[in-house]
């Protein structure tokens, strides 16, 4: 009997929202199972993202859970649409699931905000720069996997060209030290910096730099991506770590990282001054 593939982060998030909705009304899995004509185990699997759920069943549950937020329910229904298989699915089984989850998160976001303290944001990286990052992994990755990761990272960038349902805005807050870390050598880094400047001229991309003179800052040592969902309840934060990406969506954590983004916005250079600083560092290379 074939094994069921592990749920994606998006599938797990849908299940978590269904569970949150049920618990908000004090109902049990037995109650939900009775509404859907299923056994309790299948409902539990739906709430863990292991088992798919149809849009019709989502609306049945929402109605009986007294959820009157139509925009929220519509967003959950959209998450359940299995026809929306993205380009990242072709990498399933060849790259870690976390890399695919990030691509999926970005694609369905309505706005992306990130702050980076060591690296240039992934959506603004050139191939040589990304290759240098992946090649520095320990234990070393096979060259074939390094190249596969580079290709997948570059393909992620097509989200910035997306026009349907609407363009995705990307605000990248970058610490000055990330601009000075020479991944791939001086020439590769200079090309990378000029690429960041060029990308920052796009209507849907803002790059703002935090100068070293700013001193201490929140989230030091972390790389954070805040992805706005179709509705605020579906916002997600993705944190980078040496063992892969971590995803969080509790309201307390979302509020914390929203405040982080507000701090970065208030303390970074404006886009034009940021471009001037990036050009200055590139000239030094």
**Residue 84 pLDDT:** 66
Q: pLDDT tens digits for 235-250?
A: 999 998 766 679 999 9
**Residue 244 pLDDT:** 66
- Per cent of the chain over pLDDT 90 is 88
Residue among 179, 196, 202, 206 at smallest CA distance from 270: 206
Beta strand pairing call for 236-239 and 224-228: antiparallel
Give the helix/strand (H/E) hosting 155. helix 143-156
Q: What is the DSSP letter of 254?
A: H
**Residue 4 pLDDT:** 67
How confident is the prediction for the chain on average, in pLDDT? 93
Residue 198's Cβ-side half-sphere holds a number of Cα atoms within 13 Å equal to 10
Q: Are 133 and 119 in contact (CB under 8 A)?
A: yes
Q: Structure tokens of 192?
A: 């990378």
Distances in Å between the Cα of 33 and the Cα atoms of 25, 30, 40, 223 are 15, 5, 5, 40
pLDDT at position 165 over 80: no
**Residue 14 pLDDT:** 96
Residue 30's Cβ-side half-sphere holds a number of Cα atoms within 13 Å equal to 0
| pTM of the predicted structure, to 2 decimals | 0.92
Terminal-to-terminal C-alpha distance of the chain: 58
**Res. 1 pLDDT band, cuts 50 70 90:** very low
Q: Which residues contact 213 (CB under 8 A, 6 or more apart)?
A: none
Residue among 161, 167, 267, 262 at smallest CA distance from 213: 267
Residue among 122, 272, 124, 271 at smallest CA distance from 208: 271
Q: What is the mean pLDDT of residues 50-54?
A: 93
Q: What is the mean pLDDT of residues 43-55?
A: 94
Q: What is the DSSP letter of 95?
A: B
User: Rounded distance, CA 53 to CA 186, Å?
Assistant: 51
Distances in Å between the Cα of 215 and the Cα atoms of 177, 219, 250, 264, 272 are 12, 13, 29, 12, 21
User: Rounded distance, CA 62 to CA 66, Å?
Assistant: 6
**Res. 81 pLDDT band, cuts 50 70 90:** confident
Q: Structure tokens of 275?
A: 């471009």
Residue among 117, 269, 143 at smallest CA distance from 207: 269
User: Rounded distance, CA 200 to CA 207, Å?
Assistant: 6
Residue among 3, 6, 7, 17 at smallest CA distance from 62: 17
User: Rounded distance, CA 266 to CA 264, Å?
Assistant: 5
**Residue 245 pLDDT:** 74
Give the helix/strand (H/E) hosting 188. helix 186-200
């Amino acid at each position: 009997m074939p094994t069921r593939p592990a749920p994606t982060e998006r599938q797990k998030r849908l299940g978590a929202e269904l569970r949150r909705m049920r618990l908000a009304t004090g109902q049990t899995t037995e109650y939900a199972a009775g509404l859907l004509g299923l056994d309790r185990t299948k409902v539990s699997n739906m709430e863990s993202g292991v088992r798919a759920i149809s849009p019709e069943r989502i609306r049945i549950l929402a109605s009986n859970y007294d959820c009157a937020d139509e925009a929220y329910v519509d967003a959950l229904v959209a998450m359940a649409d299995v026809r929306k298989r993205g380009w990242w699915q072709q990498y399933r089984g060849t790259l870690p699931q976390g890399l695919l989850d990030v691509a999926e998160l970005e694609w369905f976001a309505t706005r992306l905000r990130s702050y980076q303290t060591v690296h240039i944001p992934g959506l603004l990286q050139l191939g040589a720069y990304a290759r240098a990052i992946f090649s520095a992994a320990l234990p070393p990755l096979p060259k074939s996997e390094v190249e596969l990761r580079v290709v997948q990272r570059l393909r992620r960038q097509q989200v910035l060209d997306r026009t349907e349902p609407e363009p995705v805005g990307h605000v990248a807050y970058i610490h000055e030290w990330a601009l000075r870390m020479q991944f791939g050598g001086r020439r590769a880094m200079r090309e990378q910096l000029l690429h960041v400047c060029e990308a920052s001229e796009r209507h849907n991309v803002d790059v703002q730099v935090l100068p070293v003179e700013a001193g201490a800052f929140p989230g030091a040592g972390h790389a954070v991506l805040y992805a706005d969902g179709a509705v605020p309840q579906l916002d997600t934060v993705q944190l980078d770590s040496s063992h892969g990406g971590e995803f969080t969506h509790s309201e307390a954590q979302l509020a914390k990282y929203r405040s982080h983004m507000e701090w970065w916005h208030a303390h970074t250079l404006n886009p034009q001054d940021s471009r001037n600083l990036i050009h200055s560092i590139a000239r030094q290379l």
